[in-house]
Structure 1
């Protein structure tokens, strides 16, 4: 007698990337929250939050230790995820963190884009501060810096030992309007159009919460 076959259940692929920045030590709580809400995958890494300010720099506290969490979610659970981020993680309040959504693929009913965009900038280690200073001059603040490594194709062999170049990744969310000028300035000041000088990529975002703004500065 043939055993009754169970129907095959196909999980719907995630169509959004949810990126969150929270105070270091909150990453595990955040990942558990997102998995509970239905995120298919979540991962965290350490980062440094930076809000340039002359007063903070004088006090030596311009940098803050952060955790960056990336999670893959479906558009259908985006609303409940943001409700939980506001209710349980307090991301709708000043100083508790930032979250934003990036669409990963075409959708039959594309979500409305905001007037904001996410920017990812990759440079050699030691140049991240130059990028942050440049962004500050342009009035673009609230970037997050992460240490990283170059890919396998960039590995150099010295004394029979593979050496991967160290990199720094800066990402931020900012209004779309000044971004063309930002890309132009990165090229003029840091030679981004030349090989191996840096990469800058911008993505449209559909939603955000907890973003740094001038109203929050100094609070």
Structure 2
């Protein structure tokens, strides 16, 4: 049984620190913030042009025991009950590595077969310090993945306490998204652990999400056949 869930919060730009602070007070260890933009009911217009408001997406991996309290704390801090202020939702997590400092949680969540997707694919999300994303991608390729997508963000956590003139510094983060066949998930996680040492405190975290549908992907076998055919011409 997996002991963690992924809490996704989308709020207006500038509110992520407030959201993360509220979630920490409720028992979370931190979060990763990604910049974005959104369109919704609260759209504004300037001289007839639609303005797309800037957003911040906060990813918080959190234990089930404190999930409800964290949701309530975030809703209060960001006033999510008011239209246009943002949303929060929870996603199931199949597996987790990189939380070795939580012995009990790691034992619960690192076991294989946490949940099953309908497609035969799962999404591995890896959050590491800036400069380590390429190492993660190389590791996943070595384990059978065809590539990955790198997203840049910033994060706060229990191992990130750097300050400048008494002002907390949020270190830059890199997120790697790897869509992979379920049969290769364990190999990819093992490769990430081996190359990034992600189970060491402060190195990062990887978690696996179920995938319900896919479009635009070729099977590994088909890609290999195409490559061989192109090479023989």
Relative to the length of structure 1, the TM-score reads: 0.46
Q: Which structure has more helix as a fraction of its residues?
A: 2
Relative to the length of structure 2, the TM-score reads: 0.44
